[in-house]
Amino acid sequence: MEIIVREKGRITLPLEVRKALALREGDKLELLIENGMIILKPKEVVKAKDLKGIISPIKVNLEEIEEAPGKV
């Protein structure tokens, strides 16, 4: 597969590549250079909606919330 480097170093990922990796506009890619090769891979971003249902709700009281800033 051939890709052309355009002005300002821009490239376009072919549609078949974007579909195969389920990439959409705004997705982030990680760029690595290894052994003279450019490697692009999707950067995993965890969204809040992806976490829904993983843990059950946690009960906290107002005092705990007020004390939280500054705690490590």
pLDDT at 72: 55
Neighbours of 13 (CB within 10 A): 14
pLDDT of residue 68: 76
- 3-class state of residue 53 by DSSP: coil
Residue 2 counted as domain residue: no
Q: Is residue 72 part of a domain?
A: no
The count of structural domains within the chain is: 1
Domain membership flag for residue 1: no
CATH number at residue 18: 2.10.260.10
pLDDT of 36 = 96
pTM for this entry: 0.55
Residue 11 is assigned to a structural domain of this protein:
yes
| Cα-trace Rg, the chain | 21
Tell me which residue range forms the domain holding 18: 7-67
- In the chain, what is the greatest distance between 2 CA atoms, to the nearest angstrom? 60
For the stretch 10-45, pLDDT in tens is: 999 999 999 998 888 988 999 999 999 999 998 877
